[in-house]
Structure 1
Amino acid sequence: MNKPVSVVIMGASGNLALTKLLPSLYTLYTSGALPAQFTISGYARTGMTHEEFRAKVKANLMDSVEETQLVESLVNTFISKIFYHAGNYGSVEDFGQLKTELDEVNAEFGDDIKRVFYLSIPPAVFEPVINSLRESNLVEKGNLDHFVVVEKPFGYDTDSARELNATIEQTFDESQVCRIDHYLGKEAIQNLMVMRFANIIFEPVWNRNYIESVTISWEEDKAIGDRGGYFDDAGIIRDVIQNHLLQILALVAMEQPSELTSDEIASEKNRVLRKITPFKAEDVVVGQYTDGVCSGRSVNSYRDEPGVPKDSMRDTFAAVRCEINNQRWSGVPFVVKAGKAMTKSCTEIIIQFKDVVGSIFANQPHHANKLVIRVQPEAGMIFNITNKVPGKGMVLKDVKMDFTYNSGFDVAMPGAYERLLLDAINGDKSLFISYDELIQSWELFTPILKKIDAGENEVHFYRAGTSGPEEADFK
């Protein structure tokens, strides 16, 4: 893309902007991915001059970017393209002043310029920011040179998600909205469609005739820490499962899109979500960690964390069994589960294949094939197959075919935010969440979330540093 771009970060003084977004933009700049003409403007309530903000950005670059990329001349040029404006989120006058500043710093670009607004702000100020953008004439509805990137949470339940979208619709068309889920920017997730649809060995067996079950798991070996106030209002289902993991499920289970466009990919994902049957009570197990040990460190129980009520019934672990009622997947259980204070930190997709029917090796101890797609921390794939152990006797053994991106490709792994920011700048919405997908996912989870919020759902306790409650081992 050669068109000049102006990136405006709302909430620029916050942690996400300073440690993720701006370092990602710097990496895109040093790799030549950004247009030759660009500016980055920060907006927040904190009073700062351009120079003070640039100093903060530079300090965070030193901590967040690999040392080999920190070339002094590149850093200085990048910093020189950064500006800052302090103002209130609900002040049309302040946003009008921002517009004047943007027009001034981008004057040399001419009128043919793209503007991308990244909302790195708390949900409480989302509506006033959207309204101020419209009323100050910073954006024009339907203009595809004006994009808005929305960071989750996208609502709290179905009704609030609809209300949030109604606010967005006053200012932007759906074609201008990028709802970001940074998990969709991870290499292993992006590779799911390539693995399935570009390799003939997978697609013929990617169905209920050959697959026994699918498990998508997210584990973190850390406790809540100082996030108790936020987390007790949300819980693990809202924080991880309803968005990250359900999006992964849709990519694993969807049909091949007719073409690689954002509309076609979103359509196929949404078709899967619509075929997930409503959850029964026995399909959902929620848990909460008690005191224990994670990664060699003592961990207090969730109820003893700062900001958490002593009688909290909030979910720090959840496992949900899903059934997809279509021809490809009918009868195959999909289990999505996530937990805090677990044995390890990892995200993986496990495709468990069925055993060979009528095998002549049925009396030999071995396991059915299993494909493990590792999303993090070390992205790659492990394929478990059965081999004969060298020697005279017929002894079988399960062996692993192991691939990692780091060993397979002699290139640096880009961060998720780098890819997603570049896609937003280029107007490519393939890895963003459509409104239809969003509402469908909330409709699936809102009934169980209402029960959890009301303290009506049974909570199973598990010790920190373990794999979660036993009840989550679905049979």
Structure 2
Amino acid sequence: MVLFGATGDLTHRLVIPALYNLSRTNALPESFTLIGVARGNMTTEDWRNDLYGSLKKFIGAANAEFDPDNIDAGAWRRLAEKMIYVRGDLTEPALYERLRGALDQAERDNKTQGNAIFYLAIAAQQFCTVVEQLCKAKLVEQPLEANGHAKFWRRVVIEKPFGHDLDSARKLNARLRNILHEDQIFRIDHFLGKDTVQSIMAFRFGNGLFEPIWNRDRIDHVQITAAETVGVETRGKFYEATGALRDMLPNHLLTLLSMVAMEPPVGFDAATIRSKKAEVLAAIPEVKPFCAVRAQYGAGEVLGKPAKPYRQEENVAPDSNIETYVAMRLEVDNWRWAGVPFYLRTGKHLSRRVTEIAIRFKQAPYTPFQDTDVAALRPNWLLLRIAPDEGISLQFEIKRPGPAMDLASVKMDFRYEDWFPKEANVGYETLIYDVMIGDQTLFMRADMVEHTWRIVQPVLDAWAACSAAEMPAYPSGSAGPSEAVALLGREGRSWRPIDGPDAGQHS
């Protein structure tokens, strides 16, 4: 693995802890070699020591139960002893000649057989520069044997964002595919490394109980929520160029939607599953601006601590027109989902951290209970909890004990930690392993990327024309703006609460 951006935040915070966890569980091949590429003036030993120091910090931060002073020395040694550091400027051809030498050394010393992953943990504007330089140096070529099979493989991992809008996504895809085959490109999204996300398809298609009711006849609507308690922290410069919609909708939330709404695949191979997801995205019309809400967090209190407004954050313009909250309504125009609204929302500095998919089933008829003490029938909810308390729960009605016919809402609850041993995990382990074995199931295809941008492009265009004075605000530590409540309210629906004692569990 050639890791561009070897001294950057992403490398320290996620990539190295993930590789360490793979080493700890013996999932790294014996021949694995890590080549770091960055501009910093350091030796390989300096780089190793720097990574070891940050490993304790970040692997502990990602796993509260993990003792950061209890690093597995053997697992770290297996990884560290096969590290090589290469210094250079990403725009200079000389760097890629030095990189060729490091790849040759890895092959001689560790028998890598020519296989290589180029991981671009760098700024998005440098993606094409690096890929084009790799091409000029002939480092991404896959020469063929006489039988037509490649002698070895070369793969490229690209971090989000995959473009800034529809036009830039198309141009990025065109430039990449002018050099690489689609099966060489792995567009990585850390959301998809979570166990609950990967379990969506198993839950749907491995149980005869749910698939027959997974349609417009039984489902009233679907809510997908990604709420964060953190603000922009030190990422003000990035966020000013991105915003909540670009940061979360085209990748994380629309990918979750595609997994919930896809048709049953004929197999679980990557090509089949990605085609089914792409069909869903192709069936979603462009979102009209009046079906989307944006807002920016103001002053308030988050988790008991005072929070300043977004416009006072570091590297944020005092008249910023960038949203920190977005909610939208969309539909999937196909036979299964016709008329079923999907509501998506995400925001920063909200009252509680929660990522979940909430499926509300249509209400049972009240008629059988009209002459009883039942005052109302509450809806049935199926919750797929992705973070922080991974699991699945089903809410339904039962009779309350006593002589009168009265109903109570209860739930059946499955939590991963109750059934399976908890492993230290930062969310990248499965994804990096899949790149190694060439499984693209959890990675976006070019047409999928372009569909996600097509869906939200009218909203981006409309918001770009709005002034900062038109930006709604919500207090930090709240559930979001009143405009988001009205988005559902005009159809007689309401968001599931994300704050309060029953948040994420009952409605």
- Shorter-chain TM-score tier: over 0.9
2:296–2:473 CA contact under 8 A, matched in 1: yes
Q: CA deviation at 1:108?
A: 3.7
Q: Secondary structure at the match of 1:291?
A: strand
Which residue of structure 1 lines up, in the alignment, with residue 30 of structure 2? 36
Instruction: Provide the residue aligned with 1:131 in structure 2.
Output: 132
Alignment equivalent of 1:159, drawn from 167, 183, 188: 167
- Equivalent position of 1:45 in the other structure: 39
Distance 1:292 1:411 in 2: 35
Aligned to 2:438: 427
- Structure 1 residue 53: Cα displacement: 0.2
Return the alpha-carbon distance in structure 2 between the equivalents of residues 129 and 330 of structure 1.
43
Render the CA deviation track for 1:177-204: whole Å, top value 9, x for unaligned. 0000111111111000001001111101
Deviates more, 1:65-74 or 1:287-296: 65-74
**Letter aligned with residue 138 of structure 1:** L
Query: Alpha carbons of 1:141 and 1:160: their partners in 2 closer, same or farther (altered >3 Å)?
Result: farther
Deviations 1:377-433 (A, max 9, x none): 111112111111222222210012111101122342643200000000110000000
2:481 matches 1:469: yes
Task: Report the more deviating stretch, 56-65 or 441-450.
Answer: 56-65
Letter in 2 for 1:120: A
Cα distance in 2 for partners of 1:72, 1:106 equals 25
Spell out, residue by residue over 1:430-468, the C-alpha distance to the aligned partner (whole angstroms, 9 max, x if none).
Answer: 000000100011111122112223326953211111111
Pairing of 1:198-237 with structure 2 (within 5 A):
198-237=206-245
2:454 equivalent to 1:443: yes
Aligned to 1:367: 378
Deviation at 1:110, TM superposition (A): 4.5
AA at the equivalent of 1:224: V
Q: Distance in 2 between matches of 1:472 and 1:75?
A: 47
CA contact (8 A) 2:22 2:28 kept: yes
1:114-136 deviation per Cα after TM superposition (whole angstroms, max 9, x unaligned): 21111000022222211111111
Deviates more, 1:431-440 or 1:99-108: 99-108
Q: 1:22 aligns with which of 16, 32, 40?
A: 16
For 1:76 and 1:33, locate their aligned partners in 2 and report how far apart those are by CA, in whole Å: 15
2:78 aligns with: 77
Paired-residue identity, %: 36
1:393 aligned residue: 404
CA distance in 1, matches of 2:122, 2:272: 30
Query: Is 1:59 matched up with 2:53?
Result: yes
Deviation of 1:19 (Å): 1.9
Greater mean deviation of Cα atoms: 370-379 or 299-308: 299-308
Q: Which moved more, 1:207-216 or 1:71-80?
A: 71-80
Residue identity opposite 2:416 in structure 1: Y
| Structure 1 Cα separation of the partners of residues 289 and 334 of structure 2 | 22
**Partner deviation per Cα, 1:218-237 (whole Å, 9 max, x = no partner):** 11112222211111111100
1:267 to 275, 280, 286: 275
Distance 1:290 1:110, change over 3 A: closer
In structure 1, how many angstroms separate the alpha carbons of the residues matched to 2:80 and 2:477? 43
Displacement of 1:332 after TM fit? Answer: 0.7
Per-residue deviation, residues 79-101 of structure 1 (Å, max 9, x unmatched): 11111111010111111111112
Task: Note if contact 1:270-1:437 (Cα within 8 Å) is conserved in structure 2.
Answer: yes
State the TM-score, normalizing by the size of structure 1. Answer: 0.95
Equivalence for 1:291: 299
Q: Work out whether residues 158 and 188 of structure 2, in 8 Å CA contact, stay in contact via their aligned partners in 1.
A: yes
* Post-superposition CA distance 1:350-390 (Å, at most 9, x none): 00111113552356134121011110011111211111122
* Count of residues paired in the alignment: 469
C-alpha displacement of 1:38: 1.1
* Residue number in structure 2 paired with 1:4: none
Q: Deviations over 1:6-62 (max 9, x none)?
A: x11100100111121011111111211111211111001111100000101111222
Residue identity matched to 1:330: A
- Which residue number in structure 2 is paired with residue 116 of structure 1? 117
Structure 1 residues not aligned, in runs of 5+: 1-6
- Is residue 289–residue 462 contact of structure 2 (8 Å, CA) maintained in 1? no
| Residue of structure 2 in register with 1:357 after alignment | 365
Q: Tell me how far apart the structure 2 counterparts of residues 305 and 401 of structure 1 sit (CA, whole Å).
A: 42
1:269 and 1:194 mapped to 2: Cα distance? 15
Instruction: Output the CA distance in 1 between the equivalents of 2:78 and 2:252.
Output: 36
2: CA distance, partners of 1:438 / 1:387 = 44
Q: Deviations over 1:235-281 (max 9, x none)?
A: 10000112100000000001011111111111111111111122223
Name which of structure 1's ranges 70-79 and 41-50 shifts more when overlaid on structure 2: 70-79
Structure 1 partner of 2:201:
193
Secondary structure in structure 2 of the residue aligned to 1:126: helix
d(CA) in 2 for partners of 1:428, 1:398? 42
